[in-house]
Chain A
Amino acid sequence: MSRQIVVPREAPDVPFKSTKKFEEYKRFRDELYELAEKGEYKLWRVPEPYIEFETVRGSGLTKKIPMDCLYMHKSCWLSSLFTGAVKSIFYVLDTFGIKYFNDQNQITCTGWAYHGGTACPLETSVTIAARNWHQAYVSNNYLCLHCITSHGMYYDEREVLVHSKELRDKVRRNMDKLGRELIIPEYIPHIHEVIYALRDKIAERAKHSYKGVVAVEHNACHYWKLAPFEVIGGTTPVTLSGLVEALGGQCKRYKEWFSCCGMGFGHIGWYNVGAVSHRYLNRAAGITKMISAKEEVDPDFIIFNDPGCGIVIDRCQWYSDYVMGIKTDIPVLWYSQVAALALGADPYKDVGLDLHIISHDRLLKKLGY
């Protein structure tokens, strides 16, 4: 496949910029290639076929997204609670004949434990990341993540591996003990970027149009806030809105679009220190976002790219109705479910909508199901 630069749609700029971070990122990329040349590690380049997208508009930075032979780096929460969203990924890839590999030897990136900061130290997490990268590398498929926390975490860990010689040496020794090699991926693609890259092809083959459907988006913090220089659209990510618009729908902005959903790694009730409870944070932040979306847009659904955020938003809405009498009832869909529904997948057997709390009946009717 020939290289092509795809410039994202026009979107309003966010009112902030850190030029220091931008310069730092450019230096990091230079170092990433230089250290590989010196033999510090093997750099794992994205193989053809790939599509090269511009990231921060006007910066000249790009990200390569592999378009075949994908290593399905699964997500703990998406695979646990929203099996249909994972099956939808396979459904879309199968529709376009894109080869992928489901490896039972993949282990968790430990993102949940790492961001808690009390489970495993940096060295353990980075060694696990390097182990998963090598596992994917030897399978001859390029890394493609289902989880956004893995995306943010791998991005950070790759940066600290390049910056810190001490940590790099430790991880290399650990990899030797495992009988593995230190491999660092050139880019860390997420599966929703692959589906975004397929959006026009999906629209061509769509059996159900999103015409007349209004959506709002929630771009996960660990996608665009942690790694803006490797995000399609940079600080105004276009992957979710771009998919909805390509399928004929409208994706509208709401005041709280920037805000974190409050996930904070607390779905499971971790962190009860003094007055700090993350279950409270889940509900407070999630409900605040949904009230803003309901009042300003009243959308047919909200589209996500992260498992954790979708869980918070799907689960918190019952509580706001029960406790405050505020009914938002905005159904949750992941990018893969949006694409699979357009392609005519079964809403329950393939897309797994019966694992969601908020009903999709109104949306399915609009889609002609």
Chain B
Amino acid sequence: MGEAEELLEAVLNDPRVRDMDTVRGCQECGSCVTVCPGARFFGSDKFSPRLIIEMVSNRDADGLRELIDEGIWCCAQCGSCRVVCPRGNDPFAVVLAIREAGEFKVHITPEGAVLPLFHLQAMLDVGTCARPVTPDPKTHPDWGPKWAEIYSNMEKIRTQTISCPELMKLDRAWDTTPEAIKEMRKIWEITGALDHHMQHYPDYIRQIKAKEGFKE
């Protein structure tokens, strides 16, 4: 079986597609395309929720495989398509299934869509998806000079002005306990996600495994 067929099979077997009946006969009304920010700002030739439903219902394996290279990453995961579809189709859930199958089953995620290391570290080292210091003005010049000013005074504003004991650390969104982080890592280990990221960040994952006593 080629990777395109493997991808299609994984998508069709995803519980969000298989068990929730998210793909039904599309009546080609295009309601989903009119509300889709991905289609609106990147162009419907690049991404169209209508075409995604069509590809899955027509079992178009090559079409899906091509989407992974660029188009599928246009989706903003807003769910506008879900609420407008008169047939009750759910392109939002199908996109999730395609991205996940591409990464975890067929291993064809393009480099620019792989989870960045700093993001993985936020989840596995401090237990939150973001940190106050994440959007550095050097990487976010489009947030303007006021943001750079706030960023350089972040600690002062947070600790001296808005004193809220639970939210005082700059390296995490809130003060999580070591036990909670341990449990987070254990969930990633028992569900196979930790092993999966070995291919992207071997040194970091090895370090976690050694620290927690997980077998490699």
A→B interface (CB under 8 Å): 16-21, 24, 74-77, 79-81, 83-84, 86-87, 90, 102, 104-108, 110-124, 127-128, 131, 152, 156, 159-160, 163-164, 166-167, 174, 177-178, 221-222, 224-226, 228, 235, 258-260, 262-276, 278-281, 283-285, 315-316, 318-319, 322, 348-350, 352, 354-355, 357
Check if B79 is an interface residue, CB within 8 A of chain A: yes
Contact of B85 with A18 in the complex, beta carbons under 8 Å: yes
Complex contacts, B76 vs chain A, CB 8 Å: 260, 262-266, 278, 281, 285
* A-contact bits for B1-41, CB 8 A (1 contact / 0 none): 00000000000001110111100100000010001011011
Check if B166 is an interface residue, CB within 8 A of chain A: yes
Check if B208 is an interface residue, CB within 8 A of chain A: no
Would you give the shortest CB distance from A318 to chain B, in whole angstroms? Answer: 3
B→A interface (CB under 8 Å): 14-16, 18-21, 24, 31, 35, 37-38, 40-42, 46, 69-71, 73-80, 82-88, 92-93, 95-96, 98-100, 102-104, 109-110, 112-116, 119-120, 123, 127-132, 134-135, 139-140, 142-147, 150, 157-158, 161-164, 166-167, 173-177, 179-181, 183-184, 186-188, 190-193, 196
Contact of A262 with B41 in the complex, beta carbons under 8 Å: yes
Complex contacts, B177 vs chain A, CB 8 Å: 104-105
Would you give the shortest CB distance from B146 to chain A, in whole angstroms? Answer: 5
Complex contacts, A349 vs chain B, CB 8 Å: 161-163
- Assuming the contacts A131-B183, A262-B41, asked whether A80 and B14 have C-beta atoms less than 8 A apart, the reply is no
Contact of A271 with B73 in the complex, beta carbons under 8 Å: yes
Would you give the shortest CB distance from B92 to chain A, in whole angstroms? Answer: 8
| Bound Cα distance A276, B37 (Å) | 12
Complex contacts, B147 vs chain A, CB 8 Å: 315, 318, 357
Complex contacts, B131 vs chain A, CB 8 Å: 80
Contact of B42 with A281 in the complex, beta carbons under 8 Å: yes
Secondary structure at chain A's binding surface: helix, strand, loop or mixed? helix
- Assuming the contacts A21-B88, A24-B88, A108-B127, asked whether A275 and B142 have C-beta atoms less than 8 A apart, the reply is no
Would you give the shortest CB distance from A310 to chain B, in whole angstroms? Answer: 13
Contact of B173 with A222 in the complex, beta carbons under 8 Å: no
Contact of A318 with B146 in the complex, beta carbons under 8 Å: yes
| Bound Cα distance A354, B31 (Å) | 41
Which of B109, B110, B179: most chain A CB closer than 10 A?
A: B110
| Bound Cα distance A83, B154 (Å) | 11
For the A-B complex, the count of residue pairs with Cβ-Cβ distances under 8 Å equals 296
| Bound Cα distance A315, B142 (Å) | 8
Would you give the shortest CB distance from A53 to chain B, in whole angstroms? Answer: 19
Known pairs A263-B78, A271-B112, A318-B144; list 5 more (Cβ under 8 Å). Answer: A117-B99, A127-B187, A174-B187, A268-B135, A279-B142
Contact of B86 with A16 in the complex, beta carbons under 8 Å: yes
Contact of A273 with B130 in the complex, beta carbons under 8 Å: no
| CB-contact partner of A276 in B70, B139, B146, B179, under 8 A | B70
Contact of A348 with B179 in the complex, beta carbons under 8 Å: no
Contact of B173 with A274 in the complex, beta carbons under 8 Å: no
Contact of A124 with B193 in the complex, beta carbons under 8 Å: yes
Closest to A282 in B: B142
- Assuming the contacts A79-B174, A105-B177, A354-B150, asked whether A259 and B37 have C-beta atoms less than 8 A apart, the reply is yes
| Bound Cα distance A147, B35 (Å) | 23
Which of B92, B128, B174, B196: most chain A CB closer than 10 A?
A: B174
Contact of A275 with B42 in the complex, beta carbons under 8 Å: yes
| Bound Cα distance A266, B181 (Å) | 25
| Bound Cα distance A259, B79 (Å) | 11
Contact of A87 with B164 in the complex, beta carbons under 8 Å: yes
Contact of B150 with A105 in the complex, beta carbons under 8 Å: no
Would you give the shortest CB distance from A116 to chain B, in whole angstroms? Answer: 6
| Bound Cα distance A80, B46 (Å) | 34
Contact of A270 with B116 in the complex, beta carbons under 8 Å: yes
Complex contacts, A322 vs chain B, CB 8 Å: 144
Which of A81, A263, A348, A350: most chain B CB closer than 10 A?
A: A81
Would you give the shortest CB distance from B114 to chain A, in whole angstroms? Answer: 6
Complex contacts, B181 vs chain A, CB 8 Å: 107
| Bound Cα distance A115, B78 (Å) | 9
A-B contact pairs, 19 of them (CB 8 A): A16-B84, A79-B128, A79-B174, A80-B134, A104-B180, A111-B129, A119-B115, A128-B187, A226-B79, A226-B92, A258-B80, A262-B37, A265-B76, A276-B42, A276-B46, A276-B73, A285-B40, A285-B76, A352-B161
| CB-contact partner of A80 in B95, B132, B150, B190, under 8 A | B132
Contact of A357 with B150 in the complex, beta carbons under 8 Å: yes
Complex contacts, A74 vs chain B, CB 8 Å: 166, 173-174
Complex contacts, B183 vs chain A, CB 8 Å: 107, 131, 178
| Bound Cα distance A340, B76 (Å) | 32
- Assuming the contacts A224-B83, A272-B112, asked whether A281 and B15 have C-beta atoms less than 8 A apart, the reply is no
Contact of B130 with A357 in the complex, beta carbons under 8 Å: no
| Bound Cα distance A166, B42 (Å) | 37
| Bound Cα distance A79, B24 (Å) | 40
Complex contacts, A167 vs chain B, CB 8 Å: 15
| Bound Cα distance A323, B135 (Å) | 21
